[in-house]
Structure 1
Amino acid sequence: MKTVGVLLAGGQSRRFGSPKAFATHGGHSFYHYSVEALRPICDEIVVVARTEFKELFPDSVHVTTDLASYAGMGPLAGILSAMESMQADRYVVLPCDMPFIEVGIMERLLELHDGDISSITVESKRHPLVSVWNANVKSTIKQALHDGNRRVMDVQAQHECRWIEGALVTDTPEIAFKNVNTPCELERG
């Protein structure tokens, strides 16, 4: 079974003030932590980034951009673009703004994956982008984007989606799944 890791790094980073993928924590760029969390469990990894940032990633990282017809349509467009870029049986998705994520967490999520999509929830707060998507979901994503629907959870609701409590994959879910949206949040991390 082929597994592709998908790192979503195409956001606007309005609140952060600069591209979050290249913000640093502990001496490494945010995207580095996600790539390292995916590398041991994935056959290949693709980073989905904005065109203007594509060349900022090292040559060792496979980078693509949103499909032209869905450019700028958010995370769903990024997931679909990755699926079109690399064929696989399943896709392990991570956003680039979780610098506290670790490989053990993603290994456990993949072990617990069941149904079409599995995503993390922490004390009723859903993290739909820390997830595993089976390839059969691609047509639903494409239809949603075609219809102008960008909501990740709307697509998840149309499939067998398992919400996995973060405490089942890590002892520190409130830290591991923290989205860093502003530089101040990183300092408090």
Structure 2
Amino acid sequence: MRAVILAGGHSERFGSPKAFAKINGETFYQRLIQTLKETECFDDILISTNTQLARAFEAEQVVTDLDTHKDKGPLAGIYTAFQYGSQPDALFVVSVDTPMVTVEAVQHLREVFEQRVKNEGTDIVGYQDDKYAIPTLAFYHSSVQPQLQEVLESDDFSMKHLYRQVSTSWIDVGEIPQPSYWYWNINYQQDLEQLREALD
């Protein structure tokens, strides 16, 4: 099983690449790598980014989108991560701007994912808050690849376009009894300040 950290966005709202923002002295991407290693769930961990940022990461495995799908958003990063090297049976997807994800949250989601794949044939299992599914905090079975490729070859690269074609299941973030900031998405500088205040 493989994990991929999506870090290819242009971070226009944040003002600088979010992957290199820091919380408690650690960059977002380094913190996520450490968390994913501690789960002991993954054979390898990739960083998916754009060509402008690729050399700035201090990590073993950094990939950029396949040429045929460059600049097609997070689904391109997910598809590329499936195609890289020895193709995995499943992929855990996390966005670099969700830096406080915990070991417990990942391990719990993996257990649910494996159960629902086995019992229900589910393709994607992820978290949701009280309003929305969180597609960049989810496990994707390799069975989604044909539909993923089809979406990337269309004019609509949205997550919803993929979800309409596969079986999905979402579990509430409240199942993880920890401070809510573990799944916070940091889009703006004020989001980072709010996180720092919550951690004090």
Q: TM-score range by the shorter chain?
A: over 0.9
* Correspondence list, 1:12-161, <5 A: 12-39=10-37, 40-58=40-58, 60-86=59-85, 87-113=87-113, 114=116, 115-161=122-168
Spell out structure 1 runs of 4+ moving beyond 4 A: none
Give the TM-score normalised by the residue count of structure 1: 0.93
SS state of the match for residue 180, structure 1? coil
Indicate the percent of aligned positions where both proteins have the same amino acid: 29
Q: What are the ranges of 5 or more consecutive residues in structure 1 without an aligned counterpart?
A: none
Tell which structure's C-alpha radius of gyration is larger.
2
Rounded Cα–Cα distance in structure 1 between residues aligned with 2:44 and 2:60: 10
Matched residues in 2 for 1:153 and 1:120: separation?
Answer: 15
Letter matched to residue 84 of structure 2: S
Q: CA deviation at 1:36?
A: 2.1
Query: How many aligned positions are there?
Result: 185
Q: CA deviation at 1:131?
A: 0.4
Give a deviation string over 1:69-88, Cα, whole Å, max 9, x none.
11111000010011111410
The 1:160/1:110 distance shift into structure 2, 3 A limit, reads same
Q: Give the CA deviation at 1:68.
A: 0.7
Distance 1:44 1:10 in 2: 19
Question: Alignment RMSD, CA only?
Answer: 1.2
2:198 alignment partner in structure 1: none
3-state SS of 1:38 partner: helix
Residues 49 and 170 from structure 1, CA distance in 2 versus in 1: closer, same or farther, beyond 3 angstroms? farther
| C-alpha spacing 1:13/1:150, structure 2 compared with 1 (3 Å) | same
Residue equivalent to 1:177? 183
Instruction: Write the distance in 1 (CA, Å) between the matches of 2:177 and 2:12.
Output: 30
Structure 2 stretches lacking a partner, 5+ long: 117-121, 196-200
Is the CA contact 1:4–1:43 (under 8 Å) kept in the aligned structure 2? yes
* 1:57 and 1:63 in contact (8 A); partners too: yes
